[in-house]
Amino acid sequence: MFSASQNIPLTRRLVGYYLMFVLAGLLTCLAAAIWLAMRGELLDLSAMVLILPVVFIGGGAIALHRTVRVNASIEEQLHRVNAGGDDLATALTTLPDSAPLTLGWNRVVQQVQNRISEDALNSKLGNFVEAFNQQLWEAIVSSLPEGVVASNRCGNVIRANRSAVALLGANAETELVGRDFIALLERRLPMASPQLWDDLRQGSGTLIRELQLGADAAAGVWRLTRTPLLGEPSSAGSNVWILRDITQQRLAEDARQRFVATATHELRTPLANIKAYAETLALNRDVPVQEQMNFYNVISSEATRLARFVDDLLNVNQMETGAINIVPSEVDIERLLSEITEHVTPQVKEKQLRLETKLPKKYPKLRADKDKLSAALVNLIGNAIKYTPEGGWVRLTVEADDARMQFIVEDNGIGIAAEELPNLCQKFFRSGDERVRQINGSGLGLAFTQEVAKLHGGALSVSSELNKGSQFALNLPLA
């Protein structure tokens, strides 16, 4: 710290003292001259002797004052720098003089100020880059398809990206911030077990859980990952939660498992039969002819079953790759329906079913892919026959108006449980009903039929009641 006198620059103080002495000298000379003049002793010469030093001292003092003014100003600025009140840029200023010292000082000040403005520019640039990086990072996080949520040690949301906002059913991040994250999840997953919430609330460290939004995977499946938020010590107990919608993945996995189960059954059973009957025929020369015929028939029908399954697989594969397309032409509906009924008559007879038809007298023109439409209708009628116990009935109704044609296939068979209806058209889906398990099927027929309807710009709808019967309607536009 400086005292008040220390605040006055040293150079200026010295000049001050010097001037005081000079002034005192001058006053003394003046007093002597006056005193001599009053006594009449002041001679011209002595006056000169007195006045000349006065003039020199005065002139010298003025020159000295001018010279040290620069030093004083520099010293004053350095004091200001030392006191630390102002920053360097304002504490140091250039001086107007052109003395060598002034020019040197001005260069120093200039360089310092240049450096300071360079630093300021760099720091502005740094801030800008940091802000840009921050914005870029925010943009990256908010573009992620996964929901990302950060929660504090109390479990309340600190930040949530756009996907998390959507997955949690909110409109904006602000609706989530400050709210209990697990409670927000609970609201979206009413069917989850209390054990899950306990697991998520308790403990720390990485945790991965799969969460099902509804009764089955089709309602939605999320994979939730919890990881501790690393970084500053203040983040202890905070977590990052990642929510990934894996519904499609899960459905694909379910379909794959169903495929493996169905393919195993659908390939192994006919192959085993073909092998068994072929071996019997090959090894036993004395099998009666009638029995041989029966064996050949079994081999032939099992081979047909295999071929149909492979065809269905190929069709479904084409659907998946988008390679399936339709070749529309005007369809003779009457002829198509009579071909189909002829095709299914043996099965109808075998199960002693009643096949009813309710057909219009006149059909409007329908442009469609005849083969695919025929295969779709055979699927629907074939299912009605398969899943209707002996003695039941199957009805085919065709309705048409100016805009559409509807093929309705009804039966009074085993029906379908309400919770299974949404899954019927998934590939390889087969009902869990024990009665269905005992009937051959690939679970591909309805997936194919629905795809055919879509390719024609139409739709397949279903209604059914367990143990009462089912109704499938294939709706096609006429235009």
Query: What does the binding site for ligand ADP look like in residue numbers (CB under 6 A)?
Result: 379, 383-384, 387, 411, 413-416, 424, 429-431, 436, 441-447, 470
Q: Residue 310 CB: number of other CB atoms within 10 A?
A: 13
Relative orientation angle of helices 44-83 and 100-143, to the nearest 10 degrees:
10
In the structure encoding, which two tokens stand for residue 51, read together? 């006045």
Q: Of 168 and 424, which CB lies nearer to ligand ADP in the complex structure?
A: 424
Q: Of 278 and 303, which CB lies nearer to ligand ADP in the complex structure?
A: 303
Q: Which residue has the tokens 């002996």?
A: 390
Q: Of 238 and 423, which CB lies nearer to ligand ADP in the complex structure?
A: 423
Q: Give the shortest CB-374-to-ligand ADP separation in angstroms.
A: 15
Alpha helices in 284-411 (DSSP H): 289-321, 333-350, 370-386
Q: Give the shortest CB-439-to-ligand ADP separation in angstroms.
A: 7
Q: Give the shortest CB-442-to-ligand ADP separation in angstroms.
A: 5
Measured distance CA(11)–CA(71) in Å, rounded: 7
In the structure encoding, which two tokens stand for residue 18, read together? 């010097």
Q: What share of residues in the chain are helix, strand, coil (percent, to 5)? A: 60, 15, 25
Q: Of 175 and 420, which CB lies nearer to ligand ADP in the complex structure?
A: 420
Cβ-in-10-Å burial (0-12, 13-18, 19+) of 401 comes to exposed
Q: Give the shortest CB-454-to-ligand ADP separation in angstroms.
A: 15
Q: Give the shortest CB-283-to-ligand ADP separation in angstroms.
A: 34
Measured distance CA(159)–CA(179) in Å, rounded: 10
Q: For 70, how many CA atoms within 13 A lie in the half-sphere containing its CB?
A: 17
Q: Of 441 and 458, which CB lies nearer to ligand ADP in the complex structure?
A: 441
Q: Give the shortest CB-219-to-ligand ADP separation in angstroms.
A: 19
Measured distance CA(321)–CA(462) in Å, rounded: 26
Q: Which residues of 62-92 are buried (b: 16+ CB within 10 A; e: fewer)?
A: eeeeeebbbbbbbbebebbeeeeeeeeeebb
Q: Give the shortest CB-333-to-ligand ADP separation in angstroms.
A: 22
Q: 449 in helix, strand or coil?
A: helix
Q: Give the shortest CB-266-to-ligand ADP separation in angstroms.
A: 9
92 phi/psi in degrees, rounded to 5: -100, 125
Q: Of 88 and 436, which CB lies nearer to ligand ADP in the complex structure?
A: 436
Q: Residue 477 CB: number of other CB atoms within 10 A?
A: 14
Q: Of 14 and 355, which CB lies nearer to ligand ADP in the complex structure?
A: 355
Q: Give the shortest CB-151-to-ligand ADP separation in angstroms.
A: 44
Q: Of 251 and 436, which CB lies nearer to ligand ADP in the complex structure?
A: 436
Q: Of 163 and 470, which CB lies nearer to ligand ADP in the complex structure?
A: 470
Measured distance CA(97)–CA(101) in Å, rounded: 9
